[in-house]
Amino acid sequence: MDTALVLIRHGLTDWNLAGRLQGRTDIPLNDTGREQARGVGRELQGQGFSLVLASPLGRAQETAALIARELEAETGRSVPELIERGFGPLEGRIMAQVSDEESASVQDQLEPIDEILRRAIPALVDLSIEHAGRKVAVVSHGATMRAIRDALAGTKLPRGVDNGEVIEIDIQRLRELAEGLDLVSC
């Protein structure tokens, strides 16, 4: 069997519903988010996924556990490198209420996209090596997944990543990106 990796955004939380920026604040799934997670697990059934991992945040861990239960797959260690982007003073704020000026004034307090890539890309490469020959699902977060997705695509795509969305990772492209950024030796 070929190695495969997918990233899955955690299920919905009350803060997602309110348009509140979560970042690394550990907000739990709501009932809709739990059903989204079970639904993703059902969608992935029969595709050979045998391991579900997640960022250490509770919403990702619970999503992973619900998906794994549907897949009858194992869960494993948390993957801290796939935690959500740090949004500094914007965490907990409703984004529609943050002006462009305020957002611009705190940009230096947000985790830069290149730092997200410097932690996430090597971790994904390592997972592809560690679990060679397996199909692995990894639950992560919207901003982190968007940074990875856009880097792999080579362009900033116009939309975000929805709760419960599954993104297939092209492992060869992932390794090329890592080499190009001098992040790892593949």
pLDDT in tens, 124-176: 999 999 999 999 999 999 999 999 999 999 999 999 999 999 999 999 999 99
Question: What CATH number should be reported for the domain holding residue 120?
Answer: 3.40.50.1240
Establish if 186 belongs to a structural domain.
no
Q: Is residue 10 annotated as part of the catalytic site, yes or no? A: yes
What's 20's DSSP letter? B
What's the pLDDT score for residue 182? 57
Structure confidence at residue 2 as a pLDDT band (50, 70, 90) = confident
Across the range 108-118, mean pLDDT stands at 96
Res 45 pLDDT > 50: yes
Q: Which of 10, 62, 81, 141 is catalytic?
A: 10
Task: Report d(CA 6, CA 165) in Å as an integer.
Answer: 10
Of the listed 81, 84, 111, 141, which one is catalytic? Answer: 84
Flag whether 172 is in a domain: yes
The rounded distance, in Å, linking the Cα atoms of 20 and 166 is 22
pLDDT beyond 60 at 184: no
Residue 137 placed within a domain: yes
Greatest CA separation for the chain: 51
Q: Is 179 a catalytic residue?
A: no
Domain count, the chain: 1
Q: Which domain holds residue 150?
A: 4-180
